[in-house]
Amino acid sequence: MRKLIAAGVLCILFGFFSTGNCSVDDLLLTEGEAEILETKKYFQLVEKIEKNPSYVQVERWFDFQKLDHFNPSDSRTFRQRYWTMDLYWDRERGPVLFWLCGEYTCPGIRKTRLFPVLLAQRFNALIIVLEHRYYGASQPFEDWSLPNLKWLTVQQALDDTAYFVNFIKTNDEFHVGNDRPWIVIGGSYPGAMSAWYRYKYPHLTIGSLASSAVINAIADFTAFDEQIYYSTRISNLDCTTTIQNFTNDLDAIFANDTDKSQQIKASFGAEKLTDDEFFFYIADVFVETVQYGGRIALCNKITRKSFDSLLQLVKEIANSSNVFPPDYGSYYLSNTTYDIDKNGRQWTYQYCSQMGWFQTPSKDPNLRMRSTRLSLNFYKKFCQDTFGEPVWPDVDYFNNQFGGLDMVVDNVIFSNGDEDPWRHASLNVSKNAYHMDALLITCDDCAHCVDLNTPTKQDSRPLHNARIKILKTFAKWLSQYLSLIHI
């Protein structure tokens, strides 16, 4: 019987006895006993976070991030923002959890997403959070004119992360050095970035947690629309048909009654949107609610309501979900003026130029949850109207660069909520031969990046089990790495 398991190796090599994360008894556990102990420790940490969710992070700046990593003759740089949280860090041996931000103004660690903080407590880790180029305060230029967006690519952003890590390793303030293990974490697009980072820079990280990681570029993304059908069906068919009938009725009004259709747009403050863009906006009111774990509340609110009642409810849901018309209108997105709180133009450029993910209606009318107006032709015009010239992705080229769903790289966890429409651009089946673990978390309202959310005792058992599996996998990666280098 094996007595020395991953937890014990971590105790020996990591010096965890003094931190309270291990005891001498951990060295004498069978694997089954170790799993019970890991589960117990997880719930202890959940209780600790519930009682005291506070943390202190420090905002910092990397002053010399390269603008162009692929042109040695271009010496231009920009300031990139990052945060550190060292409350639980063992400065002598502790690992680094490298948290990637994405297509938004990065707040550092979010109060609503404290699972990485739980991981930091468990492994006495330093957390470093990096803001993505062109978002928030990490701006290479003073405006977002199309020529200035040339360097907003996945490839440049990935090289930012590698260049930044080398800066941290050589910075005397942190004393991280070259042998400290790093694990990269991200959710959604940053989840894909974390997987691609592990794929491209395996020497800089021992593993990746890729939550809701959209690693597969897709142009005609009908599966996204169909998942909204399947997710709402979990509540009841009435919920699904309510959305379908509302969309069809709205389509009929816009096809036959110009005055009423413009009145409806004006009631949403969407006068500047084209009619087709308005349907893009309306579809996302339902999508965003389901995508972020609000399916039950949505269906309870809208089922069997009249069209006029639904129209008012959709306005209320849009406002409460922060779904606003300017994020869906080329009139607004063509504005090149920098604003630290605006991210729509940059993100639109990224998906129009590289990844696609154009959410088109299902080819099956029974599964269709959005207007047929939202075809690929709509998105081609939308991208062109936003940037003033044709901008369109070559998704086959992109997937050849990063592997898409055929990616082969070890030590990556792909976690997805089963109600999340984005999971159809992620890995849902494990590739055990390559240590690529897919965790499909099945529970009510388990949706986008659900595992990263702040844990509570009230979370579903499948969600707790997924997080415990992540903890165990991190422990395995760390013990394997530390055993090799004898830190």
H or E segment at 130?
strand 126-130
Instruction: Please list the residues that pair with 461 across neighbouring strands.
Output: none
Token duo for residue 447: 């949706």
Instruction: Check 251, 420, 451, 459 and give the catalytic one.
Output: 420
Would you call 426 a catalytic residue per the annotation?
A: no
**For residues 279 and 281, what is the distance between their CA atoms, to the nearest angstrom?**
5
Other Cβ atoms less than 10 A from the Cβ of 480: the count is 15
Whether 448 sits among the annotated catalytic residues: the reply is: yes
- Report the 10 Å Cβ neighbour count for 124: 22
Integer angstrom CA distances of residue 284 from 51, 158, 276, 320: 35, 29, 13, 13
Place of tokens 């673990």: 437
- 3-class DSSP assignment, residue 439: strand
**Cα-based distances in Å from 22 to 15, 29, 122, 350, 485:** 9, 12, 10, 45, 21
Catalytic residue among 159, 327, 353, 448: 448
Asked whether 409 and 434 are in contact (CB, 8 A), the reply is yes
- Residue 420 annotated to the active site: yes
Residue 87's SS3 state is coil
Element (H, E) at 79: strand 77-85
DSSP 291: H
Token pair for 143: 């405006």
For residue 407, give the DSSP letter: -
Bridge-based pairing of strands 412-417 and 182-187 is: unpaired
Task: Select from 79, 78, 81, 97 the least CA-distant residue to 89.
Answer: 97
Question: What residues have CB less than 8 Å from 58, skipping those under 6 apart?
Answer: 83, 84, 85
Nearest to 49 by CA among 425, 453, 407: 453
- Neighbouring CB atoms inside 10 A of 366's CB total 9
Is residue 182 within 8 Å of residue 95, measured between CB atoms?
yes
Dihedral angle of Cα 395, 397, 402, 408, to the nearest 10 degrees: 100
Query: What is the identity of the amino acid at 198?
Result: R
3-state secondary structure of 361: coil
> How is residue 110 written in tokens?
């979010």
Active-site residue, from 188, 235, 353, 479: 188
For residue 98, give the 3-state DSSP assignment. strand
3-class SS string, 297-336: HHHHHHCCCCHHHHHHHHHHHHHHCCCCHHHHCHHHHCCC
Residues labelled catalytic:
188, 420, 448
